[in-house]
């Protein structure tokens, strides 16, 4: 016979003591996040403990520390019959079975177990098979028939199973008393009780993880790479994307499940006026995933839209959707986004987080391995294309802007990218402006070119002066993308803070309302600001 | 014992780090920065010191990717946690010893007691954060929300037997923070110092 406390319910339970290190199935049935409402119904005042509030750091100690452990030497290791404990058992079951009288009667004979203490040999057999219903001469005959599954008196196994709840003061007064009585008689349980009670002292409220300083990442990585240079570095032009996706990832890991459904209004400038689209935090991540997928496909990675394609649509249930070969997945950001939103399970949940993060990690890894030439790989967005280095910079910009949307939606502080990265983003917008101007001119949305310019020669320019971290001076060629801007040909000047300029480019602030200083040719300024806003899209 | 983290993922990460892949370093940071910084902060109670330990720990891993032996060390996560705890406790001991030397009061025993307590707390924190979610949820309800085990069972949609089992198992796991050999009571990694 083994120690009676070596029951089957040891720590090697279904969850194993060495439990899943990182495994938290977000959809699992016991996800605490889903079940726990922080503002929920568990009013601390409606506690069950009738003995008054417990101080969390001082669990109620039934006896002096070590007392039960020492006491066991003097008492028989084998528990006496637990009739008295049985009497303390939750009265619910007894009441249900109409045994209230029997319980009261039995309580009157609380001296009985003591009398039994000397009866070691007789009780040993009983204690070792706690699950067997022990015949009890004093028990009314009806008790046994109340449920054959009932394990008789509060058996050792049950008391042992209560130790955790007892240490946490999370069982009834009767159960506590029964456990405490048991501890004076069962050394293994007494030992465990002490250990568990000490463990309760180790519980402390997990502070909400203070937001890690987002700049810590680059400092840590820089320190590492200074100690041991990377053999396969992340290309410099991919660093803003690496940094911005990491920042957004940290934000996403910090928000609770309900916040994934917080409403977000995506804003952009459709060329003539501000436009917007309502979605959720999860929807924004879906949008980023769908558009990042353009770059992923260009690099030969899986297009996230392929796997998202809903089965009912693939079966041709609707006619509005083209067949598998008819332009699916679409190439333009807006269509891809709609396809992602339509194709996902509704509504989108935080389940979109992992695919987004895995794709961004895969992108960074792939460009690291791809070698120098890949920077110029052309990435098509449908009606325009960008070299990969710019495409990834554009994605970094979008990632920041949408992270900012999300941060606002969930009231989370979120700063701008590092100055160096911000500078690259502004530079990209400045480089795209002449072509955007020409495009608007062809569409009749901008004034006519005022000079014919020789390609490659300096032309009429707007001086864009961006202040703050990441700022600088740019000269935007006004009359042709083929010309280049030059200080001595500047006809107008715009002075603006870096972040404000980015908000303008993202379409978050209409050109008329952007906070900036203007000087010189008003039409040129008007056209450039509108062209800047029209760089935005869904 | 079954690990929920596929060991393959950890091995792959180690290989990528060993290969000198900067992207892997970034992913390593994204995976463990919260753990490392949180643990260091718990031990040291200071943001700058926690930043410093974070630097040291990642620097050490990046410089010594082969120090991690999946067969001996268990999951990468638990290894990183031990490394962090060791480094943070080491720093705490230095700080405390310096403070002790400067002000003279107290005793070396006090320093040791404080260091020991911090190490146990760090370990307990790691155990809680990495225990199976169902156990953590049960403890959370019973301890922080002060639900009894029957209410806990109802809240979690499990039987009362199961609720008792989870509470007991959760505390058993937690109690190993006291009994396991403590991290940080051994010397820190040789090259783990700040740059």
Among the listed residues A154, A149, A121, A162, the one whose alpha carbon sits nearest the alpha carbon of residue A136: A154
**CB atoms B169 and A228 under 8 Å:** no
Q: How many CA atoms lie within 13 A of B103 on its CB side?
A: 10
Cis peptide before A329 (omega within 30 of 0): yes
A20 vs B147, which has greater pLDDT? B147
Q: pLDDT tier at A348 (50, 70, 90 boundaries)? A: confident
Same domain assignment for residues A442 and A502: yes
Give the domain CATH number at A301.
1.20.120.450
What does R_g of chain B's alpha carbons equal in angstroms?
Answer: 19
Quote the tokens at residue A399.
């990632």
Partners of A37 on chain B (C-beta within 8 Å) are: none
Q: Mean pLDDT, to the nearest integer, of A276-298? A: 94
What is the Cα–Cα distance from A165 to A527, expressed in whole angstroms? Answer: 71
What is the Cα–Cα distance from A410 to A400, expressed in whole angstroms? Answer: 15
Angle (deg, nearest 10), helices A353-370 and A388-409: 160
The whole-number pLDDT of residue A172 equals 92
Query: Which H or E run contains A263?
Result: strand A263-269
Same domain assignment for residues A310 and A236: yes
Q: Does the residue A235 lie in any domain?
A: yes
Handedness of CA A328, A331, A333, A334 (dihedral sign): negative
**Total structural domains within chain A:** 3
Q: Could you tell me if A110 and A139 are in contact, meaning their C-beta atoms sit under 8 angstroms apart? A: no
CA distances from A228 to A200, A236, A380, B64 (A): 43, 17, 37, 10
CB–CB contacts below 8 A, A to B: 261
Q: Does the residue B28 lie in any domain?
A: yes
Within 354-413 of A, beta carbons closer than 8 Å to B belong to 357, 361, 364-365, 368
Partners of B168 on chain A (C-beta within 8 Å) are: 9, 160-165, 196
What is the Cα–Cα distance from B80 to B34, expressed in whole angstroms? Answer: 11
Q: pLDDT tens digit string along A160-189?
A: 999 999 999 999 999 999 999 999 989 999
Partners of A214 on chain B (C-beta within 8 Å) are: none
Same domain assignment for residues A256 and A377: yes
Torsion of CA B126, B130, B132, B135, to 10 degrees: 20
Q: How far is A489 from chain B (nearest CA, A)?
A: 44
Last residue within a domain, chosen from A381, A409, A437: A409
B131 touches chain A (CB under 8 A): yes
What is the Cα–Cα distance from A204 to B127, expressed in whole angstroms? Answer: 12
The whole-number pLDDT of residue B88 equals 93
Q: Does the residue A19 lie in any domain?
A: no
- Please identify which residue in the block is written with the tokens 């980015």: A502
The whole-number pLDDT of residue A127 equals 35
Total Cβ atoms within 10 A of residue A181: 20
Sequence-distant (≥ 6) Cβ neighbours of residue B185 within 8 angstroms: B89, B116, B119
Q: pLDDT tens digit string along A367-406?
A: 999 977 899 999 998 888 999 999 999 999 999 999 999 9
Give the domain CATH number at B38.
1.10.1740.10
The whole-number pLDDT of residue A100 equals 34
Within 141-180 of B, beta carbons closer than 8 Å to A belong to 141-149, 151-152, 155-158, 161, 163-178
Query: Which H or E run contains A434?
Result: helix A419-442
Q: pLDDT tens digit string along A209-265?
A: 566 888 899 999 999 999 999 999 999 999 999 999 999 999 998 898 999 999 999
Same domain assignment for residues B162 and B69: no
The whole-number pLDDT of residue A70 equals 38
Q: Which pairs count as long-range contacts for A348-353, CB under 8 Å and 24+ apart, including other chains? A: A348/A260, A348/A280, A348/A282, A348/A283, A348/A285, A348/A286, A349/A257, A349/A260, A349/A261, A349/A282, A350/A26, A350/A252, A350/A257, A350/A260, A350/A282, A351/A26, A351/A27, A351/A282, A352/A282, A352/A285, A352/A286, A352/A289, A353/A252, A353/A285
pLDDT at B66 over 80: yes
Q: pLDDT tens digit string along B3-36?
A: 444 688 899 999 999 999 999 999 999 999 999 9
Within 213-252 of A, beta carbons closer than 8 Å to B belong to 213, 216-217, 219-221, 223-234, 242, 246, 249-250
Q: pLDDT tier at A41 (50, 70, 90 boundaries)? A: very low
Quote the tokens at residue A437.
């101007």
Range of the domain at B135: 131-182
Quote the tokens at residue A99.
């045994």
A479 touches chain B (CB under 8 A): no
Last residue within a domain, chosen from B114, B140, B155: B114
Last residue within a domain, chosen from B60, B88, B114: B114
């Amino acid at each position: 016979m083994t120690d009676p406390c070596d029951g089957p319910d040891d720590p090697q339970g279904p969850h194993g003591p060495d439990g899943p290190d990182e495994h938290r199935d977000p959809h699992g049935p016991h996800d605490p996040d889903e079940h726990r409402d922080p503002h929920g119904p568990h009013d601390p005042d409606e506690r069950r403990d009738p003995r008054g509030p417990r101080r969390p750091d001082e669990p109620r100690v039934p006896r002096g520390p070590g007392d039960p452990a020492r006491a066991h030497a003097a008492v028989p290791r084998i528990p006496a019959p637990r009739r008295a404990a049985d009497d303390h058992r939750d009265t619910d079951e007894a009441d249900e079975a109409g045994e209230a009288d029997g319980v009261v009667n039995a309580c009157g004979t609380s001296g009985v177990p003591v009398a039994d203490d000397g009866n070691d040999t007789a009780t040993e057999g009983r204690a070792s098979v706690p699950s067997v219903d022990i015949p009890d001469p004093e028990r009314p005959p009806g008790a046994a028939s109340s449920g054959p599954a009932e394990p008789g008196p509060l058996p050792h196994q049950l008391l042992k199973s209560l130790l955790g709840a007892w240490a946490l003061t999370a069982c009834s007064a009767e159960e506590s008393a029964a456990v405490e009585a048991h501890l004076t008689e069962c050394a293994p349980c007494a030992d465990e009780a002490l250990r568990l009670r000490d463990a309760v002292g180790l519980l402390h409220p997990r502070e909400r993880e203070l937001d890690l300083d987002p700049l810590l990442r680059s400092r840590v990585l820089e320190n590492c790479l200074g100690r041991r240079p990377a053999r396969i570095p992340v290309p410099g032009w991919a660093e803003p994307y690496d940094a911005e996706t990491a920042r957004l990832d940290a934000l996403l890991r910090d928000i609770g499940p309900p916040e994934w459904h917080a409403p977000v209004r995506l804003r952009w400038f459709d060329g003539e006026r501000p436009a917007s689209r309502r979605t959720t935090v999860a929807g924004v991540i879906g949008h980023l995933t769908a558009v990042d997928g353009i770059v992923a496909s260009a690099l030969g990675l899986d297009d996230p839209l392929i796997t998202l394609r809903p089965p009912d649509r693939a079966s041709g249930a609707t006619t509005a959707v083209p067949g598998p070969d008819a332009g699916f997945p679409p190439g333009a950001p807006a269509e891809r986004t709609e396809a992602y939103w339509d194709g996902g399970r509704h509504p989108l949940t935080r389940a979109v987080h992992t695919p987004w993060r895995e794709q961004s990690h895969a992108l960074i890894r792939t460009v690291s391995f791809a070698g120098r030439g890949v920077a110029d790989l052309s990435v098509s967005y449908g009606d325009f294309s960008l070299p990969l280095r710019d495409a990834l910079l554009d994605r970094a910009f979008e990632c920041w802007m949408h992270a900012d949307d999300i941060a606002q939606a969930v009231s989370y502080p979120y700063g701008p990218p590092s100055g160096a990265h911000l500078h690259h983003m502004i530079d990209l917008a400045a480089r795209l402006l002449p072509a955007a101007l020409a495009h608007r001119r062809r569409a009749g949305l901008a004034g006519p070119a005022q000079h014919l310019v020789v390609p490659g020669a300096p032309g009429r320019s707007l001086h864009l002066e961006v202040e703050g971290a990441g700022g600088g001076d740019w000269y935007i060629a006004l009359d042709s993308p083929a010309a280049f801007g030059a200080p001595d040909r500047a006809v107008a000047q715009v002075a603006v803070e870096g972040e404000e300029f980015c908000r303008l480019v993202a379409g978050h602030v209409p050109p008329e309302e952007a906070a900036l200083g203007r000087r010189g040719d008003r039409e040129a300024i008007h056209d450039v600001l509108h062209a800047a806003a029209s760089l935005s899209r869904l | 014992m079954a690990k929920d983290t596929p060991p393959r993922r950890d091995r792959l990460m180690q290989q990528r780090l060993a290969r000198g892949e900067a992207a892997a370093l970034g992913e390593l940071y994204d995976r463990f920065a919260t753990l490392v910084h949180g643990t260091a902060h718990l031990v040291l109670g200071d943001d700058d010191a926690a930043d410093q330990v974070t630097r040291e720990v990642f620097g050490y891993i990046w410089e010594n990717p082969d120090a991690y032996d999946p067969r001996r060390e268990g999951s990468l996560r638990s290894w990183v946690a031990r490394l962090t705890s060791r480094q943070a406790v080491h720093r705490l001991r230095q700080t405390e010893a310096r403070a002790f030397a400067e002000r003279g009061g107290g005793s070396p025993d006090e320093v040791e007691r404080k260091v020991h307590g911090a190490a146990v707390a760090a370990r307990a924190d790691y155990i809680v954060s990495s225990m199976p979610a169902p156990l953590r949820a049960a403890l959370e309800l019973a301890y922080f929300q002060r639900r009894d085990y029957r209410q806990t069972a109802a809240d979690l949609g499990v039987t009362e037997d199961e609720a008792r089992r989870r509470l007991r198992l959760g505390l058993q796991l937690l109690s190993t923070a006291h009994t396991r050999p403590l991290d940080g009571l051994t010397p820190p990694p040789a090259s783990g110092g700040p740059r």
